[in-house]
Each structure stands twice: as structure tokens, then as C-alpha cells.
Amino acid sequence: MRIDVKKCAALLKEQDNILILTHAHPDGDTLGCGFGLCRALIKMGKKARVINADEIPAKYSYLYNGMSCLNFKEDYVAAVDVATENLLGSLADTYSGRINLCIDHHGTNTEYADNLYLRETASACELVYEVITELGVQIDKEIANCLFTGISTDTGCFRYASVTASTFRIAAELLECGADNGYVNRVMFETKTKTYARLERLAIDSMRLYCNDKVAIMKVTQEMYKSSGSNEQETEALAPLTRQVEGVEIGITIREKPDGTCKASFRTFETVNAAELAKLFGGGGHPQAAACRLDCSVDEAVELIVQKCGELVE
């Protein structure tokens, strides 16, 4: 059932022992939502904790620093920034079919939760900001940093066309609540580990243009992880680079998995719907950023994708 922010806050007010699920291969938005909401619920005197199927990259540690990890049997399960149950990764095995509440901003949400608060905002953290405000919790510095992180990371630091006046106003409020934008943005956008800097150079070198230079494809192989000392956790920042060369309408990053299959990330401008493109391969996402898994090698994936893209841009 689709609900509004008032109902969403009312449901949370009634509950205790709340488990918050975030999506696998976690990013700043799902974690910012999760820990921001969790901190707010704890401030209300409730028990709450956040879980994820994968390891949380160290750069996000400030999101949960100082929180005690509460152990309790959950009475209520909420998912944040999770469009489909299978995006929960291994958590889907346990929680599929028993998620009470979902707060999400993906138009492709499959309405798997009993109650869904959804609007297509630039970041899911904007919705969690509304929910926390509706709950009457005073946003402190820690909550502000969580929510600012989600907004900042999901918008490429306010670069994308998805940013609205409301996004900027929430960001302003969060700064006044103590969000340390300089710190968050430096950690998220201005800090390359030496291993990532090496991987980025290899990935940029692998980039090739197709379809009259309207499609750029970058490859990230297991071999590149090995020679750079980097790993898949560090690849989040690569996808936007593919779309930056003049004339490119579809930027694609194909990452090789340890089992030889791969994952493709699509970045587009208004001329092409990335979610629809990803859907052709069984994936999904946003109009300008989407992804899919492919049960084939990187080079086979390039061939398949170039063919489909050719039909779209020509």
C-alpha cells in the first residue's frame, strides 16, 4: 500500500525493535537513510539497528560512529532505498516477503513491502529527512551528516539534473543542523586512495567509443583489481567518467565478477532512458543511471550492449 509521510511516521511511532535493511553493494544513499533513520529512532527511545548483506566500506564509518550496536529480536522490518527485494542480496533469503515498510525514491520499486512511502526525489535521504521531521526528532550533527551523505552521493555532489530546489533547501537545513559538508564531500569525492587512482588510470585507458562516438564503454577486469591493488568496492566513482567525453550519450562501465560474469552500469543524458536500457538485460534503475547483471564475459557483454545501444542512438 502506498502511504504518505504522515502515515509513514505514524507507523514508525507505533513500533519498537525496528530492523532497517539497506541494499547490497551499499552506497551513500542507502547507508545515509539507514543510519540517519536509525539514529532518529534511537533518539526517540526505540531499539533500532541497520544491517547490510555486504561489508560497509571504511569511508562510511562516520555514519555509524558512536552508535551502540543493539541486539534485539526485530518486531518490525523497514527497507530504505531498496527498489526490489533481490537488491537486498543475501538478506533477501531471510526477509523476503516480511518487509513491513519501505522508504524509497525509485520509480521502479516493485511494491514488495506492506507499506511504501515513495517519491522520485534526487535521493532517498530527502524522504528520510521528511520522515524524521514528521517524527518530531531534532536533527543533530550525526543525523545531518548521514542525510547529507545520501543527498550528496546520489546527486554526484549536486551535479545531476535530478537535483531540485527542495534538494538544495534540505541541504541548507542539514548544514544548519551541523552537517560537515566539507568533510563529507572531501571523503566521498575528493579523496582517491592510491589504489583507486591506479585503477582509475587503467579503466580510463580501457575506454573505447562506439556507435559514432555516442557510446563509451569502460572495462574493469579482475586483472585490473590485481595490478592496481584495488577492488570492486572502489569502483563506484568510475561510472560517471564514461559519460563525460563530449558527444557521448550513453556511458557504460562493465565490471568483471570473480566468477567471470559481469555487471554493467549505464549512465545517460536526457536523450536515452538508462533504466529502460538496463531493463533489456533484466536490470533497472533511474532514467539517467541504471545497471544490470550479465551472465557472460566482459567482451561478450561489450558486443551485446553495443548492438542494443546502436539501435537506440542511431
* Binding interface with a copy of itself (CB under 8 A): 156-161, 163-166, 168-169, 171-173, 175-176, 181-183, 185-186, 189-194, 197, 201, 204, 240, 243-246, 269-270
The alpha helices in 101-179, defined as continuous H runs, are 124-135, 141-154, 165-176
Rounded to a whole number of angstroms, the minimum distance from the CB of residue 80 to a copy of itself is: 23
Q: Which is nearer to a copy of itself, 166 or 227 (CB)?
A: 166
Nearest to 168 by CA among 183, 154, 188, 151: 151
Rounded to a whole number of angstroms, the minimum distance from the CB of residue 207 to a copy of itself is: 9
Nearest to 134 by CA among 7, 2, 1: 7
Q: Which is nearer to a copy of itself, 204 or 296 (CB)?
A: 204
The length of the chain in residues reads: 314
28-43 and 124-135 helices, crossing angle to 10°: 10
Could you tell me the CA-to-CA distances from 192 to 142, 198, 279 in Å, in that order?
A: 24, 9, 32
CA distance 34 to 12: 14
Rounded to a whole number of angstroms, the minimum distance from the CB of residue 274 to a copy of itself is: 14
Q: Which is nearer to a copy of itself, 6 or 194 (CB)?
A: 194
Rounded to a whole number of angstroms, the minimum distance from the CB of residue 229 to a copy of itself is: 13
Question: Residue 250 forms beta bridges with which residues?
Answer: 215, 268
Rounded to a whole number of angstroms, the minimum distance from the CB of residue 249 to a copy of itself is: 12
Which residue has cell 548483506?
Answer: 53
Q: Which is nearer to a copy of itself, 38 or 127 (CB)?
A: 127
Nearest to 304 by CA among 205, 240, 203, 215: 215
141-154 and 28-43 helices, crossing angle to 10°: 160
Q: Which is nearer to a copy of itself, 15 or 149 (CB)?
A: 149
Rounded to a whole number of angstroms, the minimum distance from the CB of residue 113 to a copy of itself is: 31
The values of phi and psi at residue 302, to 5°, are: -55, -45
The values of phi and psi at residue 171, to 5°, are: -60, -40
Q: Which is nearer to a copy of itself, 198 or 279 (CB)?
A: 198
Which residue has cell 551523505?
Answer: 149
Rounded to a whole number of angstroms, the minimum distance from the CB of residue 226 to a copy of itself is: 20
Q: Which is nearer to a copy of itself, 141 or 186 (CB)?
A: 186
